[in-house]
Chains A and B, each alone.
Chain A
């Protein structure tokens, strides 16, 4: 609840950002898979000071029943912020912002899933923001994507996400909290890892059309990098599991490639 103050600059004379990053540099990202024992799948992400957990439950029976969809599973995403995750205490009841973000996250993830494999079921993606320091909806997608994979939900691809934006006339990748608040625009994006198609796109601030197109291009580059981080995190988790079970790690890696490859093909047929 400290009184906040606007920083005197967001880009310093050397062209570096308030936390020392280059304009096209993302924050350090730490991804962990399998962090919640009770969940069918789970992952955590620390992206700068943003800290988020995602848990997946399902496919399982859906309550209340009237939400059931006959020809596929219902993907229910719930994005919630802890009361203490923001400077002022957030009220415990879900805000309209949280409900909107839950919806756009569901839309961002859906095209990556074979929901038609589980008609009438629900796949629950629960996201808890523990500390919010900018880019939470994108970080949430990065983690949720891993949690879905960890839960063994059939996927066409992973879904990386990042927010691009602008401050003091410069286009920036992976906005931090101050850049979001005091900068000139925020463009959260997510894409299908395989095809690069955009599944989340929002914007605020002020951009000329060309400028926004350029920013989205920077976002795609960053998301490709994040996709690699996601794959590595999955491999680490699997390696650990497999090591415990005494099997060969490389085999899994092949399987993953194969699986995602198949997914792609299926995905194209499907779209």
Chain B
């Protein structure tokens, strides 16, 4: 029964290849992890995560995590609505800080113009405003 033979052969070779590849991947990973620099790693880590969060485009995403709001004066917990609102605010503000502080090397064109438009423009506005104001 040739088909059955074919099936068994495919199964054998196929599973072999799958396992082989993933084991190779395992070795590759272990190798990579050998050269892990913990300290900076964690730092980069956090940065990467923040960026990834912002990446979702929906600045609202990280709201729940970001805000560990607890009334410092041991008062009652704030309303969920307020919590969410502040969540939005913090996320947006964080994004603005991050993008205004971008190094001169950051490329604004053609992609990042979205951000440029949103926030750098605000910064530029302030710049040119102060320039308008100086005369006075």
Are A and B genuine complex partners? Answer: no
